[in-house]
């Protein structure tokens, strides 16, 4: 098709882009399916248990997204060194990225363990006592997993940045499969309840994270991990990583903080609303699977173009990948919309919870078709150029003004309930899309220097 035709001297072919993207897409889709299976098993513990786990999952997602963002930030630096064909500094970036992210994971573990009751009561004090008791026992185990979560996500980001997306596909599916097997054994055989649900995730992520660490030492890698505890003499490398990864991490932290504040709002809307929100969040990855895969490709390939000193190529591939993203997101969202009701019906939830979930997913699907690519893929392109501070400020400002502010107005003033919080999220996407488009069009990002 002429719409997706590349120029003859193109740096990356369509075949290369799709070969890079497809394993990440399959990874996202498989993880989405496994996540639904995970939620299905947890739903058999009862609506109260599911609601309690759902509240902890909000905090857990906050931490995980922060650690993922830190890992991706470091991978931008490594991608640019790969584009510049500097393997020595790419290797130092790889090692320092793991060190930084795992150290931060340890700090988060200590903080969450010490202040667990205060955090739960502050965020979710409006929830029923039984729900909070479930959350407390689950959170105790989850908090100890964060150093291993950091290891898993930092290694995955670095392997993906080298173009080995098949490895991250296999590792992610292996992690979730192990998680499900352990979850089944611990919940239904050993009868550990919510503790078993939390412990299975801990063990699975720690196991695969350690495996990935050893895989980074392979001589077949484009960039190899050599001496994780050996001191690096390149002093500026850590600063470069932090300059990209910290704004990226702060952006995700603010984004997830907003999600936590909204979770506090949702916690007072009743058990059915909490369960519906949790169910919808387990299904939405099916909708944005393509968008997430293209965003990862965008950040890595734009980073390589910038590292090679070719901002015009970065501009060209941003537009090209965005067109591909929109086309495939439309097809994916339309297909999912056809099956959304049968998918919801398999869960052991009340009629009210299923009805809420249907309207939530309808709003999310329609919003994704029009605004997900421009809101997230364009942001990824700007991150790939090193423009992470601007993305951080826009995402933070839009989130507080629209996602949180609008959510409280829709729920408290217009009495829209749980559906209002999702309408607010889509409005946040619309504002981000406009601002990121203007930023990209003006071209200031082309003068960024990361390495």
Three-state helix/strand/coil letters over 50-64: HHHHHHHHHHHHHHH
Check residue 1 and give its pLDDT.
53
Check residue 108 and give its pLDDT.
92
From first to last of its 451 residues, the chain has per-residue pLDDT tens of: 566 777 767 788 888 888 888 877 877 777 666 666 766 777 667 777 777 777 787 788 788 888 888 888 778 888 888 888 888 888 888 888 899 899 999 999 999 988 888 888 887 777 777 878 888 878 888 888 899 999 998 998 888 888 788 888 888 888 888 988 998 898 888 888 778 878 888 899 899 999 999 999 888 888 888 877 777 656 678 888 888 788 877 877 777 777 777 877 887 888 888 888 888 887 887 788 888 889 888 988 998 888 888 899 999 999 999 999 999 889 888 888 888 888 888 877 788 888 888 999 999 999 999 999 999 999 999 988 888 889 888 988 888 888 888 888 998 898 888 889 999 989 999 999 999 999 999 988 888 777 6
Q: How many CB atoms sit inside 10 A of residue 154's CB?
A: 31
What's the CA gap between 289 and 169, in Å, rounded?
13
Roughly what angle, to the nearest 10 degrees, separates helices 47-83 and 271-307? 0
What's the CA gap between 410 and 404, in Å, rounded?
10
Check residue 36 and give its pLDDT.
67
Please count the helices (runs of H) and the strands (runs of E) in the chain.
16, 0
Structure tokens at 403: 């996602």
Both ends of the chain: CA-CA distance in Å?
37
Of 223, 221, 208, nearest in space to 171 by CA: 208
Check residue 3 and give its pLDDT.
66
Residues in contact with 243: Cβ distance below 8 Å, sequence separation at least 6, in sequence order = 386, 388, 450
Structure tokens at 320: 């090209």
Contact 57, 39 (CB under 8 A): no
pTM score of the predicted model? 0.72
* Exposed / middle / buried, residue 85 (Cβ in 10 Å: 0-12, 13-18, 19+): exposed
Check residue 207 and give its pLDDT.
94
**What is the secondary structure of 331-351 as a DSSP string?**
HHHHHHHHHHHHHHHTS---H
Structure tokens at 26: 């399959």
What's the CA gap between 425 and 420, in Å, rounded?
9
Of 234, 253, 228, nearest in space to 100 by CA: 228
Contact 444, 382 (CB under 8 A): no
Check residue 432 and give its pLDDT.
92
Structure tokens at 64: 């995980």
Q: How far is CA 437 from CA 322, 337, 373, 374, 416, in A?
A: 11, 28, 11, 7, 31
What's the CA gap between 200 and 204, in Å, rounded?
6
Q: How many CB atoms sit inside 10 A of residue 322's CB?
A: 19
The total number of residues written for the chain in this structure: 451
Structure tokens at 434: 């406009």
What's the CA gap between 50 and 32, in Å, rounded?
18
Give the residue ranges of DSSP H helices in 189-310: 194-215, 235-267, 271-307
Q: Is the dihedral of CA 407, 412, 417, 420 positive or negative?
A: negative
Contact 449, 386 (CB under 8 A): yes
Q: Which residues of 375-405 are buried (b: 16+ CB within 10 A; e: fewer)?
A: bbbbbbbbbbbbbbbbbbebbbebbeebbbe
What's the CA gap between 390 and 445, in Å, rounded?
10
Check residue 35 and give its pLDDT.
63
Of 446, 425, 74, 433, nearest in space to 249 by CA: 74
Phi and psi at 239, nearest 5°, equal -60, -40
């Amino acid at each position: 098709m002429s719409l997706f035709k590349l120029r003859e001297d193109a740096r990356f072919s369509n075949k290369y882009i799709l070969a890079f993207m497809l394993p990440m897409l399959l990874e996202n889709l498989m993880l989405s399916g496994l996540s639904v299976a995970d939620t299905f098993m947890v739903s058999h513990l009862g609506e109260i248990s599911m609601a309690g786990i759902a509240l902890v999952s909000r905090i857990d997602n906050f931490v995980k997204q922060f650690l993922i963002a830190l890992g991706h930030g470091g991978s931008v630096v490594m991608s640019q060194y790969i584009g510049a064909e500097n393997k020595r500094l790419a290797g130092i970036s790889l090692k320092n990225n793991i060190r930084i992210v795992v150290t931060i994971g340890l700090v988060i573990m200590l903080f969450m363990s010490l202040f667990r009751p205060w955090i739960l009561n502050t965020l979710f004090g409006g929830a029923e006592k039984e729900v909070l008791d479930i959350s407390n026992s689950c959170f105790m185990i989850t908090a100890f997993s964060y150093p291993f979560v950091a290891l898993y996500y930092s290694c995955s980001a670095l392997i993906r940045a080298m173009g080995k997306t098949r490895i991250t596909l296999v590792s992610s599916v292996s992690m979730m499969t192990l998680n499900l097997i352990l979850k089944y054994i611990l919940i239904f055989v050993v009868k550990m309840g919510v503790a078993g649900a939390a412990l299975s995730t801990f063990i699975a992520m720690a196991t695969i994270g350690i495996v990935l660490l050893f895989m980074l030492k392979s001589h077949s890698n484009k960039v190899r991990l050599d001496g994780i505890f050996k001191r690096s003499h390149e002093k500026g490398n850590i600063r470069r990583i932090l300059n990209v990864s910290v704004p990226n991490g702060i952006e995700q932290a603010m984004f997830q903080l907003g999600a936590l504040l909204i979770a506090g709002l949702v916690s007072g809307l009743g058990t059915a609303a909490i369960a519906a929100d949790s169910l919808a969040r387990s299904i939405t990855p099916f909708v944005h699977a393509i968008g997430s895969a293209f965003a990862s490709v965008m950040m890595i390939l734009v980073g390589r173009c910038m590292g090679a000193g070719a901002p015009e190529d970065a501009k060209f591939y941003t537009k090209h990948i965005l067109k591909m993203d929109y086309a495939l997101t439309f097809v994916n969202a339309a297909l999912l919309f056809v099956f959304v009701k049968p998918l919801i019906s398999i869960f052991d939830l009340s009629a009210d919870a299923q009805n809420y979930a249907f309207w939530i997913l309808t709003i999310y699907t329609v919003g994704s078709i029009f605004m997900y690519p421009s809101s997230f893929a364009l942001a990824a392109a700007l991150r790939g150029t090193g423009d992470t501070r601007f993305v951080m400020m826009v995402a933070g400002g839009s989130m507080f003004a629209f996602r949180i502010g609008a959510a409280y107005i829709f729920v408290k003033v217009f009495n829209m309930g749980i559906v209002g919080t999702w309408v607010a999220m889509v409005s946040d996407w619309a504002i981000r899309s406009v601002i990121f488009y203007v930023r990209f069009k003006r071209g200031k990002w082309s003068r960024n220097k990361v390495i």
